[in-house]
Amino acid sequence: MKKLLIVKTGSTYDSIRKNHGDFEDMIIAASGITKEKFDVFDARDESLTFPLPDKYAGIIITGSHDMLTYNDDWMQDLKDWINTITDTNTPTLGICFGHQAMAEAFGGVVDYRDWGPEVGYVKVKFDAEAYNDELFSILYDKCSVYQYHSQSVIELPRGATLLATNSIDPVQAIRYNSHMWSCQFHPEFNHEIVAHYINQNALHLTTEGLDPYELLMRLEPDQTGEKLLKQFIKICGL
């Protein structure tokens, strides 16, 4: 049986990694399947060659503390590789930075938003296009998700379908074709992880006009992200 591939684009803080693992560990924990069914490929290691997409049952591209506007060489390599997935039937999901990388790979635009970071437990609304979508139809019309990001997809790729939005960031989820999706929010996070992020960056959030205490008070346990990841795993046939 084919494995799932996690494409690692960054690492979380050491303080979070001690209790929750790194981004790939969070994804595995939320997926409901064992670690042995995953391979992890570090996209930042330019000594490595990207694997063939059709070798895998599915692909998940992680978040990162890096920004796409850094335009590092490995980021362009990642986007070039993402384009090769189009000609396969390999289900692919990009998360946060992975969402933005997929959007840019297909011709979208990513940049900082004028109104600052989107952080915490945030409501999103799924558009009518999501109702019959193989992946996102399992979520409610409106639900809350965990967020922490400063950059966004500010222009959709031509031909892409917008699936979810909110008043803070209009591009919350995208379908690119029959087997490739991305979301700005973090389905692998739980409320404890987001709380760590808020506490770690409290001073910065204050300078951005956000109230860390208020963000913490709004956090609630929620399994929406787990539900989405498990549906993706189901689509992958595992």
Q: What is the DSSP letter of 99?
A: H
Residue 220 designated active-site = no
Residue 236 designated active-site = no
d(CA 214, CA 219): 9
Residue 20 designated active-site = no
- Cα-only R_g, the chain: 16
Reference 174, options 155, 202, 194, 197; nearest CA is 155
Considering the candidates 104, 143, 188, 236, report the single residue annotated as catalytic. Answer: 188
Considering the candidates 20, 149, 179, 186, report the single residue annotated as catalytic. Answer: 186
d(CA 176, CA 106): 8
Distances (CA, A) of 165 to 59, 120, 152, 154: 23, 16, 12, 12
Considering the candidates 96, 143, 183, 236, report the single residue annotated as catalytic. Answer: 96
Q: Which residue has the tokens 């437990």?
A: 121
Tokens of 235: 């689509």
Compute the CA torsion angle 217, 223, 225, 231 (nearest 10 deg).
Answer: -170
Catalytic residue numbers, as ranges: 96, 186, 188
